[in-house]
Amino acid sequence: MRNKVIAGNWKMNKSFEEATQFIDEVKGMEVAANTEAIVCAPFIYLTNLVERAKGSNVKIAAQTMHYEESGAFTGEVSPSMLFSIGVTHVVIGHSERREYYNETDDTVNKKTIAAFDHNLTPIVCVGETLEQREANETLSHIESQVKQALANLNDDQITKTIIAYEPIWAIGTGKTASSEDANEVCAHIRKVVADITSQATADKVVIQYGGSVKPDNIDELLQTSDIDGALVGGASLEPASFKQLVEAGNRLS
Ligand code: 13P
């Protein structure tokens, strides 16, 4: 059975005090054996938050990284730096990075490979725009993004990749995709993975949905056949709400 993976993506939010208080508040929470709870925090807080969360079931992730190990890349953070401070996961190819920071399918692939080279678990984001959905291009667009993201990975690495389906029109808009629509795309992602590897590999891959997930709609999403978790922005910012999201994972894992 696949784990239920609940990840909160804080994006560019929270003071240091708010960030540390959040982790202190959630780190004692119960996380079921088949559930994972992850907080994706700004770089500047990661070292402290990893220390604070030590010994708990809450994992700390970065929201992006460079794909190179080191070098003249002013302002960037490398995969080995993240690993060296105990970060376990990294979000790659979030639509906001693709839109504002020149993230492309090629850099997403390089970063995904680099994550595995440095023992980090990538959470690879894919998603269509409203125009693409209305033009009936959702499945072909997602297929192309998934294939490029996973190029040159071996089956073991693909098994460990978390794929987050986040329709761009549903992010921060309050418009959640219906659980049927979200599941249709997640099922298609699994089929694409099966085509490039095997059904057995595809059956193990964790696929999250993201886009206006909240405590009151997460159950319906997690009850579908192919959605194994959620990548949550706004509703992950309050400790009580984050805990409710993880509790849904506990209930349904
Ligand atoms: P919201 O949950 O705020 O819609 O954000 C989704 C998201 O982009 C998570 O990465």
Q: Where are the domains of the chain?
A: 4-252
Mean pLDDT, range 121-134, rounded to an integer: 97
pLDDT number for residue 1: 84
- The CA-atom distances, in angstroms, between 180 and each of 184, 186, 213, 222 are 6, 10, 14, 11
Q: Which one has a higher pLDDT value, 174 or 62? A: 62
Q: Is the CB of 212 under 6 A from ligand 1?
A: yes
Residue 100: pLDDT band (50, 70, 90) is very high
Tell me the catalytic residues: 94, 166
DSSP string, the chain: -PPEEEEEE--S---HHHHHHHHHHHTTS---TTEEEEEE--HHHHHHHHHHHTTSSEEEEES---SSSSSS-TT---HHHHHHTT--EEEES-HHHHHHS---HHHHHHHHHHHHHTT-EEEEEE---HHHHHTT-HHHHHHHHHHHHTTT--HHHHHH-EEEE--GGGTTSS-PPPHHHHHHHHHHHHHHHHHHS-HHHHTT-EEEEESS--TTTHHHHHTSSS--EEEESGGGSSHHHHHHHHHHHHHH-
Atom of ligand 1 nearest to the CA of 213: 2
Q: Is the CB of 9 under 6 A from ligand 1?
A: yes
What's the CATH fold of domain 4-252? TIM Barrel (3.20.20)
Residue 175: pLDDT band (50, 70, 90) is confident
The fraction of the chain above a pLDDT of 70, given in percent, is 100
Residue 165: pLDDT band (50, 70, 90) is very high
pLDDT number for residue 137: 98
Residue 174: pLDDT band (50, 70, 90) is confident
Question: Over the stretch 21-59, which tens digit does the pLDDT of each residue have?
Answer: 999 999 999 999 999 999 999 999 999 999 999 999 999
pLDDT number for residue 93: 98
| CA 63 to ligand 1 centroid distance, Å | 12
pTM: 0.98
pLDDT number for residue 39: 98
